[in-house]
Amino acid sequence: MSAESQIQPTKHDFSDIKDKASWAFETLSGMYGPDLAATQLSLEHEAYTLGEERFHKALERQIDRGEFADNATAKHVLTSLVPMMMTAFDNWVEYQVTKVRRKHVGLQFFQMVKSENVAAITVKIVLNTVAKKGPQSVQSLAVALGRGLEEEARFGRIREQEAEHFNKNIRKALNKRNGHTYKVKFLEKVEAHMQEANEIESSWTSWDSVDNDVAYHMGIRLLELLIESTQLVEMKRENAGNVKLDGEFIYLTQAWADKLCNRAFSLAGITPRHQPMIVPPKEWTKMIGGGYWAKGRKPIPLIRVRSKRALQRYRDVSMPEVYKAVNIAQASAWKVNTKVLEVAKAIMKWKRVPIDKFPTADREELPIQPDGIGEDPVVLKAWKKEAAGVYRRDRARVSRRLSYEFIIEQAEKFADYEAIYFPYNLDWRGRVYAIPSFNPQGNDMTKGMLMASVAEPVGKDGIEWLKIHGANCAGVDKVDFSQRKKWVEDNEELILEIARDPLGQPEWTKMDSPFCFLAFCFEWAGVVEHGELWESALPIAFDGSCSGIQHFSAMLRDERGGRAVNLLPSDEVQDIYRLVAEEVIEKVKKDLIEGTEDSVQLITNEKTGEITERRILGTRTLAQGWMGYGISRKVTKRSVMTLAYGSKAFGFTDQVRDDIIQPAIDEGDGAQWFPDAQQCARYMANMIWDSVSVVVVKAVEAMLWLQKAAKLLATEVTATKKTKKNPEPEILKPCMPVYWVTPDGFPVWQEYMKPIQRRVELMFLGTIRLRSTVNIKDSDIIDGPKQESGISPNFVHSQDGSHLRKTVVKASECYGVEFFALIHDSFGTIPAKAGKMFKAVRETMVETYTENDVLDDFREQFMEQLHESQLEKMPPLPTKGTLDISKILESEFAFA
């Protein structure tokens, strides 16, 4: 009887990755010497050993928690065995109903649950159980199966009978609760409330109270059916003759144990944890083979796509400018900023760190239990609510803590190298991403810890750019450049004090980007001491001002929208979030005077006929609440930011509720302003939508136009209507993907396919997707709604990806910039070259939209693909405004 889990995959031998006889070693030795070559290949080898170790740890955690069936190792087993178990169960039930006089004790209960759910629960619970360490008794597993089935029947009826209520009000709250016990307790309360309101048909009677041990007998029957249909497990009697230990135990059959171990072995071998490089990355010349030098188990493609079939499309595509940009970007030499690293290591040990949401080592203490908590249910409920907040924050703390520890561990590991490099590739829309987990596109701590390997004298201009960068890091970025520089000059004493003693002067922790500001302080101390000769390697970034709307405004020459996102020169920084907030305030003020009064809506329960009242807040009440709370740029920011990425009024509702209203209520200040969170959120969402549609009208027009195009392309046109008698009419135009090419030649295929699968949703065991063909991930049927909703964000992301790549090539070839710090709409380099980057990013924006009409090019491509009957449904291109694109060259704040 083994105490070990049967899932024990063997470990890989990755030694070939660092083989000194390999082509990679010989090539690197010739370029950088044998020592660096050996170390680089050891790092690439280590990426696989670290990845395998991480995979095994995650696997062990899931096995210990009884969640093995959720691991990738078991998922293919689950999807292949559930249909087999379902067939066996259906056949047995039919036999019981039609052929057997004395029915199984649990037949009536079995019939309360859909057969596919019965099968999914059986396979999932058995896999979770048999993967655990030590022997698992048949009796305990049978009871667990019976109980699992009863819980599904009991709480599943809430989902089935009141689907709309469940999806709207219960699902999210259920998912927030951790642990099976908490989920059950929560649903018991929901059930009680719904019974009181006559919202579900019946109260629940425990199965075992109807027939003793019925759950056990049902579990035994399910185990028998599973063994007969799948041979997944087997029963063994052990310790015969020993009264205390004698019993029947359940094990995976050897064949299935081997299959699962082999799958775990395969998956562990292709999950590398990629790291920075200590030699320049291998240049990309084709779809596979760039970045890392060794031939790993899982070759990295230039473009991150879902399948080999999708990657094949790019095989014969000529896009020299794209390859050039990625190769220039990944050749940037970096190093670790050891001063920032030492400070970060020190504050990781502090009990309390003033940085917002910094994950300290110790967990937050639970609130002290007040007197009378045992007698007064109101007091108990209030304490529990406060305690739940502590638990919720602690889960987030642990996750962030692990992330911060990993950042520091990687920074320490590479701190002694003169130069490190980050290989890059692209997502399918053309956005540039670093491949290692630790990279310059990370959080503020990561960015603060990295700098260029090669420093250059800052010079007069570099000092001015450094001042602007320092103010930006401090959060002083909504004022003009002269005010930002003055802020640094006025605070120079504090900056130098921080540089001298950052642990003794923690004011830097309160800044907008604390670690980047700390790095600036160290740099500024060098400038103060050495002046223009100070050699600086600090990355200085120019960020787009709400870049999605910038691109839409530029392509449609929208003067008002362009001004709002700083495409036109201005003495003041234009803040689109504040502009929208001001527009909202005007509309809300109008409602204060002319708004509607509160009313009462009578709701009739269709099943019971019971009538209940619901208060409908009038627009005057809603307006009063929002004016009382205050309508600032914070209220509008996220909604406006996500507008260009396809978010609409209903999406704004969730954002406003989650970002503004709920935190205000949690902090004890919101209830007085927001008597009904959902109604208040919906009101503000509609206000923001109406206001932003005025401020950036052309962006909204472009989004709607793109969505219409995608919808028509994804719509099938048939000769006659589909009917039951005519299920397969002649297809005149099939559903089609959306295709376009960016200004620098990157082709984009947007092709969301409907998966060939059936969702089995279980109350406590998650969602299982059963594919009709296990090896096929997607069907060949296009998902029309997803094509429509995805086009706006994907189109604009492809444009900002093109702009970034064009900027890299321009800055390198025309201005000699060799170091790039890039994050989608953020363009960084060292202070000595910052002025040149400032020019390059603007010049490429102007070139992009004067040399290309991206919407017209897109239209030309797809109009030929539409059926003639669809042509009149396609509206004309939105009209262009009067924005002078060349003015971007004179705008200080477009990228600042």
Cα–Cα–Cα angle for 331, 336, 342, rounded to 5 degrees: 170
> 513 in the Ramachandran plot: left (φ > 0), alpha (ψ -120 to 50) or beta?
beta
Residues contacting 420, CB < 8 A, separation 6+: 276, 277, 278, 333, 334, 335, 336, 414, 453
Question: What CA–CA distance (Å, rounded) separates 886 from 845?
Answer: 9
Cβ pair 448, 470 in contact under 8 A? no
- The answer to whether 236 is a known catalytic residue is no
Residues contacting 893, CB < 8 A, separation 6+: 480, 545, 566, 570, 573, 574
- What angle separates helix 576-594 from helix 677-695, to the nearest 10 degrees? 120
Residues contacting 275, CB < 8 A, separation 6+: 43, 46, 47, 50, 410, 413, 436, 437, 438
Question: What CA–CA distance (Å, rounded) separates 787 from 810?
Answer: 33
Cβ pair 450, 539 in contact under 8 A? yes
User: H or E segment at 456?
Assistant: strand 456-457
- Could you give the maximum distance between any two Cα atoms of the chain, in Å? 98
Question: What CA–CA distance (Å, rounded) separates 121 from 156?
Answer: 13
Cβ pair 554, 563 in contact under 8 A? no
Beta strand segments in 91-144, E = 136-137
- What angle separates helix 784-815 from helix 320-330, to the nearest 10 degrees? 70
Q: Of 146, 10, 159, 54, whose CA–CA distance to 759 is shortest?
A: 159
- The answer to whether 591 is a known catalytic residue is no
Cβ pair 388, 182 in contact under 8 A? no
Catalytic residue from among 477, 575, 800, 825? 825
Cβ atoms < 10 Å from Cβ of 668 = 8
The string over 256-282, giving b where at least 16 C-beta atoms fall within 10 Å of a residue's C-beta and e elsewhere, is bbebbbebbbebbbebbbbbbbbbbbb
* Structure-block tokens of residue 94: 């039919």
Residues contacting 460, CB < 8 A, separation 6+: 532
- The answer to whether 637 is a known catalytic residue is yes
Residues contacting 470, CB < 8 A, separation 6+: 488, 495, 517, 520, 521, 524
CA terminus-to-terminus distance, the chain: 67
Catalytic residue from among 543, 676, 690, 853? 543
* Alpha helix stretches (DSSP H) within 531-575: 547-555, 559-564
Cβ pair 458, 466 in contact under 8 A? yes
Question: What CA–CA distance (Å, rounded) separates 449 from 513?
Answer: 12
Cβ pair 423, 290 in contact under 8 A? yes
Residues contacting 711, CB < 8 A, separation 6+: 784, 787, 788
Cβ pair 300, 51 in contact under 8 A? no
Question: What CA–CA distance (Å, rounded) separates 469 from 485?
Answer: 9
* Alpha helix stretches (DSSP H) within 644-715: 649-656, 662-666, 677-695, 697-713
Catalytic residue from among 467, 485, 637, 806? 637
The string over 325-364, giving b where at least 16 C-beta atoms fall within 10 Å of a residue's C-beta and e elsewhere, is bbbbbbbbbbbbbebbbebbeebbebeebebeebbbeeee
Q: Helix, strand or coil for residue 266?
A: helix
Burial label, 724 (beta-carbon count in 10 A; 0-12, 13-18, 19+): exposed
Cβ pair 553, 696 in contact under 8 A? yes
Catalytic site residues?
A: 543, 637, 825
